[in-house]
Chains A and B, each alone.
Chain A
């Protein structure tokens, strides 16, 4: 997918969410959906299966997100599925998140953790990363059991990695 097309879809999602007045929540929910789409093979193969009718895949989205995400989020994901852009969903959503962050003069900080972070932990983590990078950050936390423990934060090109997985990889390399 071209950058222009990605940006066009991202702008459309952004404007819809903004018009609905739930940009921050939608953006956060879409970010989680994108990460789940990336990490869950079954979900990805189901939503990208062209042999399944679009309305069936839309039903799957509604069953998965219904009650857990806002109606706007569900509608936006359904729109991407029915328009045949589901394969590019993570890229589009990342562009949306980046655009939303830019609107707030923030930079996206993607943090992966083995366990869900509490609000307090997220606030302290955002403050710590802001202090470390010197940038206003839009924190996005992804629960990723593969990191085993600890956190890895990606802010732009900067990576702050203190995960058990990375330490094990280093240990494996040393062995």
Chain B
């Protein structure tokens, strides 16, 4: 701050001949030489390090590029594998669907056959039941007729048999027994 203030005061000083902004000429020369020396020293001593740093950086970048390329290749391979896997999945899906269709058709066919068999069995059983029921009804009817006939016959016969007929039966018995031996 003090230097700046001094510079400003000096600029307003009419005794000062050089430019308020530029230094004195010798100062420029010395300064220029010093700058050349510093730059030369920097080039000589810091240059290899900087160059080495650039080379290392270049190698690192190249390595990163190579890694990126390798990663890209790997990614492409993975993508190819995934695409292939997707293709396999699709084919597996198709195979599974086809197999499921086959199994479904088999189950359907078997189910239809079983149902048809069951229906046939039920029809046969129904026919047999009907026949049995018909037979039972016929047997019951026959039995009832037989019972009625058996009950009615002695009554009818007893009413039909006259004394004459009874006498003839007795005579028939005597003749048959007598002629038997």
Chain A contacts to B: CB under 8 angstroms: 113-115, 117, 121, 124-125, 127-129, 131-132, 134, 148-151, 153, 160, 162, 164-165, 168, 171-172, 175
In the complex, what residues of B have CB within 8 A of residue A171's CB? 150, 153
Nearest CB of B to A103, in Å: 26
Nearest CB of A to B127, in Å: 30
Most B CB contacts (10 A, CB to CB) among A125, A134, A175 go to A175
Question: Once A and B bind, how many residue pairs between them come within 8 Å at the CB atom?
Answer: 73
The reply to whether B174 and A162 contact each other, CB–CB distance below 8 Å, is no
The reply to whether A121 and B170 contact each other, CB–CB distance below 8 Å, is yes
Q: With the chains together, A153 CA to B173 CA distance in Å?
A: 10
Nearest CB of A to B168, in Å: 9
Q: Contacts A113-B170, A175-B149 given: A148-B157 contact, CB under 8 Å?
A: yes
The reply to whether A132 and B180 contact each other, CB–CB distance below 8 Å, is yes
Q: With the chains together, A132 CA to B178 CA distance in Å?
A: 6
Q: With the chains together, A79 CA to B12 CA distance in Å?
A: 195
Contact partner of A132 (CB less than 8 A), chosen from B157, B161, B165, B181, is B181
Q: Which residue of B lies closest to A117 (CB)?
A: B170
Interface residues of B toward A: which range? 20 to 34
Q: Which residue of B lies closest to A126 (CB)?
A: B174
In the complex, what residues of A have CB within 8 A of residue B170's CB? 113, 115, 117, 121, 125, 150-151
In the complex, what residues of A have CB within 8 A of residue B149's CB? 172, 175
Q: With the chains together, A148 CA to B166 CA distance in Å?
A: 8
Nearest CB of B to A155, in Å: 11
The reply to whether B161 and A164 contact each other, CB–CB distance below 8 Å, is yes
Q: With the chains together, A114 CA to B167 CA distance in Å?
A: 9
Contact partner of B157 (CB less than 8 A), chosen from A115, A134, A153, A168, is A168
Q: Contacts A115-B167, A117-B170, A121-B170 given: A162-B176 contact, CB under 8 Å?
A: yes
* Residues in B134-181 with C-beta less than 8 Å from chain A: 146, 149-150, 153-154, 157-158, 161, 163, 165-167, 169-178, 180-181
In the complex, what residues of B have CB within 8 A of residue A164's CB? 157, 161, 169
The reply to whether A151 and B181 contact each other, CB–CB distance below 8 Å, is no
In the complex, what residues of A have CB within 8 A of residue B167's CB? 115
Nearest CB of B to A87, in Å: 30
Q: With the chains together, A129 CA to B179 CA distance in Å?
A: 10
| 12 residue pairs from A and B, CB less than 8 Å apart | A114-B161, A114-B166, A115-B167, A121-B174, A128-B177, A134-B181, A150-B166, A151-B174, A162-B176, A171-B150, A172-B149, A175-B149
The reply to whether B178 and A128 contact each other, CB–CB distance below 8 Å, is yes
Nearest CB of B to A118, in Å: 9
